[in-house]
Structure 1
């Protein structure tokens, strides 16, 4: 393994199955350290254990290898997906994922080892059936570029990270990063995980950005919508977004049939 011989700094990510976490172990979500604190002549690989489902890592002056062991408490998940978002100024190391004792490169190696920073955010998603708690993650993928059916719409208000009523203020496209951004004028925030939708101090209006894939070819539409979706790395990503009047009709019809999966106050 080249990283252990000191040829290139490397980040080695290892995901352990649920149960690897020791009882009573602290939840270390993030780590920040420096290669300058290590013994220069040592070839030992530094180990970092992270026990949350999301967090970040910042490695200053990377040297040799840093082995990051992810031990989340996802006991109900049969499989786990690891999402990594390198910082915009990520420099100085290669990222490998270790599976069954073998290394798989997921980020191109840096030939200039004088570069000083290697940092990224991580997010772990448990893969379960659509009826489980992680239905919202599956909904994000399924609904990204197509209209949701009625059941998906009804489930979206129950399980999404954010649910807001509003209109489209502007749509911009970023071809380099393959995504579009929908700027929303918000009339009502029913739910949000974090403060992505906030009140503008100058105008007093509530606004917020929602992202989606460029391939979805989102265009500006008129009228009010019910925007739902999930947060990833502090950003809102679009899930189901029906016209508000259409969703209101679907929800009230389901409620009369007692087929609504959860109670939701649309008024």
Structure 2
């Protein structure tokens, strides 16, 4: 068996290099862990004398969490949806580390090859990171410390549609096609008519303030009534910083997107007058995936 390597550096870590000889024996080492189909919590203290053990963890929900107290050795986290679907392999995994997460590095493990996803320091930002579910399982390697007290590796995860998990796309800023816009109005976590009022950088992400004049649908109440009008909603929408804002402030838009970890993320967006023309043409042809109010 060849040593697993970190594809970012090409050099195995000291733990990974020495892990090879015991991986087969320790893949399912016994420890006292609590787990359900959605979340997992465990402590490295239960197998501290076997610091090179590798635990297998299986999580089969669309969202959940992981909390690893006093990390030692390593764990492999296998994330899968709880239903069989031809589109399951196209899902995107998004993880959001706790801001005090520390004690381990996070890799993607695909067929024995590791790619560094998050260092211990990068986890402290609490920034959301996404990757395709086919890119591999999560390999979480404890960092060797003499004192492992007060070290907890923790994160939330969600499985989302590949388009919604735009951090994993080759070009997350690519405009949506007409078919994608029409489908987004029907299936996105939120769909609204409104305008952008301003944008600013926050924690490595672009945060956009929006005012909505019509709310078709929303999940988790990310938009709240405001602006002194009962029919007006306000809120913030995030987007990858490399995309920028391609629409002017106050310009009337169709806004759709997903809700990740209680935050709205911008998906397909189009000038409302262009969407209205597109929608009416599709309506005449009988190809609309759903009906929405446009008056």
Counterpart in the other structure of 1:98 = 109
Rate the CA distance shift 1:257–1:98 in 2: closer, same or farther, 3 A: closer
Tell whether 2:189 aligns with 1:154. Answer: no
Q: What is the deviation of 1:237?
A: 1.6
**Distance (Å, rounded) in 2 between the aligned partners of 1:263 and 1:123:** 29
Counterpart in the other structure of 1:11 = none
**Distance (Å, rounded) in 1 between the aligned partners of 2:278 and 2:239:** 24
Q: What is the deviation of 1:51?
A: 1.1
Counterpart in the other structure of 1:22 = none
Structure of greater relative contact order (alpha carbons < 8 Å, 6+ residues apart): 1
Counterpart in the other structure of 2:233 = 206
Alignment check: 8 A CA contact 1:5 1:64 kept: no
- Mapping for residues 58-77 of structure 1, pairs under 5 Å: 58-73=67-82, 75=84, 76-77=86-87
Tell whether 2:265 aligns with 1:237. Answer: yes
TM-score calculated relative to the size of structure 2: 0.66
Give 5+ residue unaligned stretches, structure 2: 4-14, 20-26, 28-34, 121-142
**Distance (Å, rounded) in 1 between the aligned partners of 2:210 and 2:268:** 14
| Partner-residue secondary structure (3-state), 1:249 | helix
Aligned match for 1:121, one of 156, 161, 166? 156
Aligned match for 1:189, one of 207, 210, 215? 215
Q: What is the deviation of 1:206?
A: 2.2
Aligned match for 2:66, one of 32, 46, 57? 57
Counterpart in the other structure of 2:136 = none
| Partner-residue secondary structure (3-state), 1:222 | coil
Tell whether 2:49 aligns with 1:41. Answer: yes
Alignment check: 8 A CA contact 1:4 1:65 kept: no
Rate the CA distance shift 1:27–1:116 in 2: closer, same or farther, 3 A: closer
**Distance (Å, rounded) in 2 between the aligned partners of 1:93 and 1:187:** 45
| Number of residue equivalences | 238
Counterpart in the other structure of 2:124 = none
Q: Deviations over 1:8-54 (max 9, x none)?
A: xxxxxx9xxxxxxxxxxx96212233334x14424444443211132
Rate the CA distance shift 1:246–1:212 in 2: closer, same or farther, 3 A: same
**Distance (Å, rounded) in 2 between the aligned partners of 1:136 and 1:105:** 23
Rate the CA distance shift 1:144–1:192 in 2: closer, same or farther, 3 A: farther
**Distance (Å, rounded) in 1 between the aligned partners of 2:280 and 2:65:** 42
Q: What is the deviation of 1:118?
A: 0.7
**Distance (Å, rounded) in 1 between the aligned partners of 2:255 and 2:263:** 14
Rate the CA distance shift 1:143–1:237 in 2: closer, same or farther, 3 A: farther
Rate the CA distance shift 1:162–1:79 in 2: closer, same or farther, 3 A: same
**Distance (Å, rounded) in 1 between the aligned partners of 2:224 and 2:200:** 20
> What is the root-mean-square deviation of aligned Cα atoms in Å?
3.6
Rate the CA distance shift 1:35–1:228 in 2: closer, same or farther, 3 A: same
